[in-house]
């Protein structure tokens, strides 16, 4: 078996999408003639001062503490000096520390030190570095330069997904950040065997920086995570899972839903935005978290028809998906190539998906290929679809689901990682 070292800042039990990607690599590559080792930290669990090694049936996890570094200490000091910190951020970008906070800098030096002094890198056939953060890309490049070890870079996102906006007009600061990110990503990609990223448009964008070949490995869904559950029988439940973003046109759905509820005096409908009540939206950040999401939803829907909650554990939200009748997805119509991880969990639930509005891009292709839902571009189209779906539920107690199973399974994590495993074998043979 070939030995693979996976470097990821995020890993379970931290309950975020990045953790599930690295964990899936660890589990499924074992079945493709690899002996994987995941090198990470203690995110999502109690921090320890010593290295912790976990032996699992599917591979090894090495967790190392994040120790202070000289540059990290200097950065921590500079963050207390507002003007100096602004200047020093540019210096750190120039040095290639694109994640310029102390924790990311300390993580880089901790991982680098462990790789050089504690690991016998010659035993590994390949290193897989997962972005984000940026320093995994830098680390893989530097390990290759020093030890000659082959590496693959895996991107869950671009350095900022704003660069794929259909009418991207960056600020001066964004232009500077984009310039440094492009230069260093080009450098770190230059020696990679190949790179992977989560959508075709994003792959094309990265390919503008490098001659290194790229491939699409989508996030996919966890096949075994959602078990069949009976849907709610006393209410027609529409569920949106996860964060809301400033550029999403949620008003299209909300206006159509409000009019339908008012016209038919519907009392047994519940629209749930689980994880929608999230702070962090900043004025002027068009592609960040939505500003005042609760207020914006409440402008259209009464509390009796709508729940907006904080983030909950993924296992709980997957259960809610399986019990809902309709899954709501706000298309990223203003940003090319953006799936969002939730669309794959929706596929796993085998429930009808309503996309509002059409992104005319990757999500539309997914919905058409799998026949797993409908797309609405206007409040009127939302109104008509909700009317049809609601009265079908009232008559039969459920909604007809027409998803094509042979297409759906292509989007599972196992299927996607199988593609990665075959690619690595192809390049190493």
CATH code, 335? 3.40.50.2000
pLDDT at 263 over 90: yes
Q: Does 31 share its domain with 164?
A: yes
The residue-averaged pLDDT of 206-224 equals 92
Residue 229: inside a domain, yes or no? Answer: no
Q: Residue 254 falls within a domain, yes or no?
A: yes
Does the structure show a pLDDT above 90 at 161? Answer: no
Task: Say whether both 102 and 153 belong to one domain.
Answer: yes
Do 197 and 241 lie in one domain? The reply is no
Q: Is residue 176, in this structure, part of any structural domain at all?
A: yes
pLDDT band at 429 (very low <50, low <70, confident <90, very high): confident
Domain range for residue 150?
Answer: 2-219+413-428
pLDDT at 108: 96
The answer to whether residue 109 sits within a structural domain is yes
* Angle subtended at Cα 69 by Cα 68 and Cα 70, rounded to the nearest 5 degrees: 130
Q: Is the pLDDT of residue 163 over 80?
A: yes
Beta pairing partners, 150: none
The CA-atom distances, in angstroms, between 355 and each of 331, 366, 412 are 6, 11, 20
Q: How many domains would you assign to the chain? A: 2
Q: For residue 319, what are the β-bridge partners?
A: none
- What share of the chain has pLDDT > 70, as a percent? 97
Kindly state the tokens that stand for 320.
């809610």
User: Is residue 323 located within the same domain as residue 180?
Assistant: no
Q: Do 131 and 53 lie in a common domain? A: yes
pLDDT band at 288 (very low <50, low <70, confident <90, very high): confident
Q: Is residue 228 part of a domain?
A: no
Is residue 227 in some structural domain?
Answer: no
Beta partners for residue 54, in sequence order: 61
Q: Tokens 């960056």 sit at which residue?
A: 170
Within this chain, do residues 272 and 334 fall inside the same structural domain, yes or no?
A: yes
Q: Are 60 and 209 part of one and the same domain? A: yes
Closest to 250 measured CA to CA, from 331, 153, 169, 319:
331
Q: What is this structure's pTM?
A: 0.90
Same domain for 205 and 274: no
pLDDT mean over 185-203: 97
Rounded distance between C-alpha atoms, residue 392 and residue 7, angstroms: 49
What is the pLDDT confidence band of residue 57, given thresholds at 50, 70 and 90? Answer: confident
Q: How confident is the model at residue 16 (pLDDT cuts 50, 70, 90)?
A: confident
Q: What is the mean pLDDT of residues 92-104?
A: 93
Same domain, 386 and 245: yes
Cα dihedral 247→253→256→259 (10° resolution)? -100
Name the pairing type of β-strands 195-197 and 126-131.
unpaired
pLDDT band at 191 (very low <50, low <70, confident <90, very high): very high
């Amino acid at each position: 078996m070939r030995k693979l070292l996976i470097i990821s800042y995020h890993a379970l039990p931290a309950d975020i999408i990045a953790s599930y990607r690295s964990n899936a690599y660890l589990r499924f590559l074992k079945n493709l003639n690899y002996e994987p080792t995941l090198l990470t930290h203690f995110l999502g669990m109690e921090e320890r001062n010593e290295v912790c090694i976990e032996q699992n049936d599917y591979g090894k996890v090495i967790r190392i503490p994040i120790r202070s570094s000289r540059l990290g200490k200097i950065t921590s000091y500079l963050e207390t000096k507002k003007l100096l910190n602004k200047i020093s951020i540019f210096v750190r970008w120039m040095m290639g520390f694109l994640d310029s906070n102390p924790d990311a800098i300390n993580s880089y030096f901790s991982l680098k030190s462990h790789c050089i002094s504690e690991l016998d890198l010659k035993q590994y056939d390949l290193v897989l570095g997962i972005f984000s953060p940026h320093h995994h890309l830098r680390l893989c490049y530097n390990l290759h330069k020093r030890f000659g070890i082959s590496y693959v870079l895996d991107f869950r996102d671009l350095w900022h997904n704003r660069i794929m906006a259909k009418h991207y007009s960056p600020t001066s600061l964004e232009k500077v950040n984009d310039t440094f990110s492009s230069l260093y990503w080009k450098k770190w990609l230059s020696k990679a065997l190949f790179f992977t990223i989560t959508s075709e448009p994003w792959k094309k964008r990265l390919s503008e920086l490098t001659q290194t070949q790229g491939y699409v490995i989508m996030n996919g869904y966890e096949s075994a995570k959602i078990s069949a559950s009976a849907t709610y029988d006393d209410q027609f439940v529409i569920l949106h899972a996860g964060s809301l973003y400033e550029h999403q046109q949620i008003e299209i759905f909300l206006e159509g839903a409000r009019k339908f509820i008012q016209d038919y005096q519907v009392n047994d409908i519940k629209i749930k935005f689980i994880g929608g009540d999230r702070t962090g939206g900043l004025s002027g950040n068009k592609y960040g978290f939505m500003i005042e999401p609760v207020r914006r939803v409440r402008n259209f829907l009464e509390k009796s028809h709508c729940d907006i909650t904080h983030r909950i554990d993924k296992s709980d939200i997957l259960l809610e998906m399986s019990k809902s009748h309709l899954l709501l997805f706000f298309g990223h119509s203003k940003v090319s190539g953006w799936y969002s991880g939730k669309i794959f969990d929706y596929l796993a639930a085998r429930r009808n998906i309503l996309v509002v509005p059409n992104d005319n891009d990757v999500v539309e292709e997914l919905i058409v290929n799998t026949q797993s839902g409908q797309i609405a571009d206007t409040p009127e189209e939302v109104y008509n679809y909700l009317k049809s779906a609601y009265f079908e539920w009232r008559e039969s107690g459920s909604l007809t689901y027409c998803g094509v199973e042979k297409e759906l399974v292509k989007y599972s994590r196992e299927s996607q990682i199988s593609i990665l495993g075959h690619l690595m074998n192809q390049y190493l043979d």
